[in-house]
Structure 1
Amino acid sequence: MKKWLKISFSLFLITILIIPLAACGKDEVTKVRIGEVTRSIFYAPQYVAIEKGFFEEEGLDVQLTTTAGGDKTMTALLSDGIDVALVGSETSIYVSAQGANDPVINFAQLTQTDGTFLVAREKIDNFSWDLLKDSTFLGQRKGGMPQMAGEFALKKHGIDPQKDLNLIQNVDFANIAPAFSSGTGEFVQLFEPTASVFEKEGIGHIVASFGVESGHLPYTSFMTKESFIKDNSDTVEKFTRAIYKAQQWVDSHTAKETADVIKGYFDNTDLDIIEMSVERYKNQDSFATDPILDQEEWDNLQNIMDEAGELPQRADYDSLVNTSIAKKVMEE
């Protein structure tokens, strides 16, 4: 009898242990590998989504890698090294022009303006774009969105980048700031927080914003292969919902509050610089407040690419942009 009671008690213990485990199985965690083109305060909402637990709330375990460059990011996506890419939307157009069988689809926009600033070596009290003529300008890599948006802004103000400037474009992205710091160029095109750091240290002075000059465009978007959306529609929806929550959070909180959340991603940058950078981007509406990439922005992107001579061919909006997921998330 005692032996039977022991067996019954053991079975009871096993049963009560199995039930919670079975319940946990219903809430499976899905891993999603993101490749970001660079580490930037410009991508603040993405870091907020991670740090505030918005991805975790959706049952997603996000693994973030900095893939350093548009070409490398797209290669990682196409070769299944990552699931989702955070990169300029122009890369999806380049892939499409090469006749990809599995096109890359933009499904959630993160930033909606250029993120660079014009930095002058000398302090200029009354800046005019004409001051750039005949100067040495340290620009961004040819074919990338910063360079194209930069040239668009220059032409808008009557400056031919190839004729009116001593234009330097053969410096790698990672070495542009050090090159300017060491004495190369009278003007340079820089992202935050480098622009604010240079201003604080007296290396340069911010005189204009390329984001303001070039208008709204899908500067950086989350994208993935069409097959991934088809096979993992629920995951993509959860991902987009987390990003939307983060976009709304950043929009409704101060730059200081956002800086406090994302500071761990920028260990070598002072908190006041992070806050200043977030404030600049908020003031010029660089952070998209929702994940929808609209037709007007898409057209502006292609117009800028065309003006720079980098548009291989016009890409159909409906073929490379999926707004149905974002719209569903926003309607909830």
Structure 2
Amino acid sequence: MDRFLVSATGHSLNYLPHYIAAEQGFFRDEELDVSEVVPRPWDLVLDHIRDGTAEAALGGIWVPSMFHGRGRRLVPFAQVSNRAPLALVGRTPAEAFDAAALVGKTVLMKGSNGASVGLYLKMMLREAGVDPKSVNYVQDLDGGILQACFAGGMGDFLLIDLPGALAYQAAGRGAVAAVFAQDGGDIPWSVYYTEGLSPHDTRPARFSRALARGMDWVNAHAASSFSDFLARTFPKVDPGIAVQVVDTYRACGMWTTPQIGGASYARWQQGIADGHLSDGPISYDALIDDAPTRAMAGSLPA
């Protein structure tokens, strides 16, 4: 068995195929001993892949994009989440995201665990023809503080993860105004990356193949059929909400393939560049090494 430790920026329902691949023995079938660690603060994942503590980091592709050409080469090789696992909570419910409804309003969104939340919302506004500068933001605080303040009357909208939004709504503190997994389009939200890939290292391809089996398994099974696993794996999430979220993700294409898509990648690169984390969109081949996922698909020897 070959070791493959993943240092992840969180423990999340949108990483579910990874946990299923471990539970179902798909990683073992590839002769991989896969384990995870979630360091605090999250940016310790970068130390872990630099010093060899971990074989890969799991998090937002904005991090490798931000470092590209700036002294450090971080190489994404696979994705787990193909959609943004975010939801917008408002004072009144809405059927789908209405960018115009945010003009002149204040949105609370955490900024303490990375840049992706703010980058994503502002990208969605631009794509809808709304100038992000026409919206007010509070995003330099911890998510828990912002949720408490929103419940107390601060701001007009709160942008958080979908499980948190549904729990917030169930508690009568707000109403879900948009589920971005449903109406936000494809985007390589959570990816695996490392300090560099050796062409002789077969572990990333084997990992990607097992991850694909995990995705297939989740997509083939209603969440209610493995609710006990969800309860064990996500003890802080209400069991009913966990089932609802997983089935929402299954229905909207959260988990498609470990291969990072070209169109969704280009879209997110524009959002990252518009957020000034890079000097401009980075071409796919300049940042991504897709040899492991091409090998997974059988076009290269694994």
TM-score (norm 1): 0.81
1:303 corresponds to which of 267, 270, 281: 270
Q: Does 1:131 align with 2:115?
A: no
CA distance, structure 2, for counterparts of residue 115 and residue 134 of structure 1: 25
Gaps of 5+ in 1: 1-28
Give 3-state SS (helix, strand or coil) of 2:198's partner. helix
Give yes or no for contact 1:86–1:223 (8 Å, CA) kept in 2: yes
Q: Superposition RMSD on alpha carbons, in Å?
A: 2.5
Q: How does 1:242-321 map to 2 (within 5 A)?
A: 242-287=210-255, 289-321=256-288
Q: 1:152 to 1:268 in 2, by over 3 A?
A: same
1:116 Cα offset (Å): 0.6
TM-score (norm 2): 0.88
Gaps of 5+ in 2: none
1:67 Cα offset (Å): 2.8
Q: Whose Rg is larger?
A: 1
Equivalent residue, structure 2, for 1:72 = 44
Q: 1:123 to 1:232 in 2, by over 3 A?
A: same
Q: How does 1:1-332 map to 2 (within 5 A)?
A: 29-68=1-40, 71-100=43-72, 103-123=73-93, 128-141=98-111, 144-162=115-133, 164-173=134-143, 175-226=145-196, 229-230=197-198, 233-287=201-255, 289-331=256-298
Give yes or no for contact 1:70–1:88 (8 Å, CA) kept in 2: no
Give yes or no for contact 2:270–2:280 (8 Å, CA) kept in 1: no
Higher-helix-fraction structure: 1
1:99 Cα offset (Å): 2.3
CA distance, structure 1, for counterparts of residue 43 and residue 186 of structure 2: 23
1:166 Cα offset (Å): 2.8
CA distance, structure 1, for counterparts of residue 115 and residue 97 of structure 2: 26
Q: 1:98 to 1:176 in 2, by over 3 A?
A: farther
CA distance, structure 1, for counterparts of residue 225 and residue 262 of structure 2: 32
Q: 1:127 to 1:172 in 2, by over 3 A?
A: closer
CA distance, structure 2, for counterparts of residue 268 and residue 277 of structure 1: 14
Give yes or no for contact 1:161–1:167 (8 Å, CA) kept in 2: no
1:266 Cα offset (Å): 1.1
1:228-287 residue CA offsets vs partner (Å, 9 max, x unmatched): x31761222221121111011112211223544333121122211100111222222122
1:85 Cα offset (Å): 0.8
CA distance, structure 2, for counterparts of residue 209 and residue 178 of structure 1: 21
1:9-41 residue CA offsets vs partner (Å, 9 max, x unmatched): xxxxxxxxxxxxxxxxxxxx2222111111111
Amino acid at match of 2:44: K
1:129 Cα offset (Å): 3.6
Amino acid at match of 1:306: A
Structure 1 range deviating more: 262-271 or 231-240: 231-240
Q: 1:110 to 1:174 in 2, by over 3 A?
A: farther
Give 3-state SS (helix, strand or coil) of 2:170's partner. helix
Amino acid at match of 2:74: V
1:92-151 residue CA offsets vs partner (Å, 9 max, x unmatched): 112223122xx2211111111211111113345898443323222102429622211111
CA distance, structure 2, for counterparts of residue 191 and residue 126 of structure 1: 16
Amino acid at match of 1:111: S
Q: 1:172 to 1:261 in 2, by over 3 A?
A: same
Structure 1 range deviating more: 311-320 or 148-157: 311-320
1:205 Cα offset (Å): 1.4
CA distance, structure 2, for counterparts of residue 323 and residue 86 of structure 1: 16
1:330 Cα offset (Å): 2.2
Structure 1 range deviating more: 244-253 or 302-311: 302-311
CA distance, structure 1, for counterparts of residue 146 and residue 175 of structure 2: 16
Amino acid at match of 1:62: V
Structure 1 range deviating more: 254-263 or 112-121: 254-263
Amino acid at match of 2:48: A
CA distance, structure 1, for counterparts of residue 203 and residue 58 of structure 2: 16
1:17-72 residue CA offsets vs partner (Å, 9 max, x unmatched): xxxxxxxxxxxx22221111111111111111111121122222222111356533
